[in-house]
Structures are given as structure tokens and as C-alpha cells.
Amino acid sequence: MSATKELTYSDVAEHTSKKDLYVVIHDKVYDTSSFVDEHPGGEEVMLDVGGQDATEAFEDVGHSDEAREILNGMLIGNLKRQEGDPKPKTSTTTSSSSSAATSSAGGLGVGVYALILVGGALAFFAYQYLQSSSQQKS
């Protein structure tokens, strides 16, 4: 479909059901109805942002290039902002701080895995030591 169609927030807000679901990401309107059942995060995630600006939720997850290509295939138009519409949920400053938060959260995730790995190794060696100690006493 042509991406020249303009929709308002009120137009988008009318499409909130699983079979008729629109979302706004970076002021572009997408019909995600065909993808609800296939979404790896589950349909609830998409239904929660249906009919509204999903930019922040989309960017916070850190979608892959493949996900962005799939999204481009669902583009139906641009958002036509009107007076009284909600402001965009992300701005330039929010994006950079959001990116920093995402990268530190990613670092924390790796740290947690490292902690689990080290803890497992310590538990294994402690078990081996206790087993050898009890065999020497017998």
C-alpha cells in the first residue's frame, strides 16, 4: 500500500482489536493485524499498544533489523498530528538516554550470567572437595 495516506490519532485509536490493530511508531502508522499471532513477544504485548504510539515500547525492546523489515511491510501511512494529540513519547534526548539504559541493562544481563556460571563452578568444586574429604575419612 502507499505510505502517503495520512491518519490522525483518532483514526488510529479506532483500531485496537486483534483482527484490526494499528500502531504508531516514529509517526508512521502500521497495520499489525496480520502479525499479532506471529509476534514473538505474544499478542498481549501488541494489544497493549494497539491504537496508540508504540515508539517507546518498540525501541525499548531493541528490535532486530529483520523485525524492522517486517514492520516496513505493514506500513499504511503517516501520522497527521493535530492540536491536542499526545506528544511523541521519545525525543532526541530521551532516545540517547534510553540507548544508554539499554546498553547498561545488557551489561547487567551478561553480569548475571557470569555470576551464575561462577557460582555453579564454585558449587561443583565445593561438592568435589567434600566428596573427596568424606572418602578419605572412610
Can you tell me which residue has the cell 524492522? 68
Rounded Cα distance between 126 and 49, Å, is: 49
* Contact between residue 9 and residue 16 where contact means Cβ atoms under 8 Å apart: no
From first to last of its 138 residues, what are the pLDDT tens digits of the chain? 444 789 888 899 999 999 999 999 999 999 999 999 999 888 899 999 999 999 998 988 888 889 899 999 999 999 888 777 777 655 444 444 444 444 444 556 777 878 888 999 999 999 998 988 888 776
> What residues does each domain of the chain span?
5-105, 108-138
Q: Domain 5-105: which topology? A: Flavocytochrome B2; Chain A, domain 1 (3.10.120)
- What is the reported pTM? 0.60
- Give the SS3 label for residue 76: strand
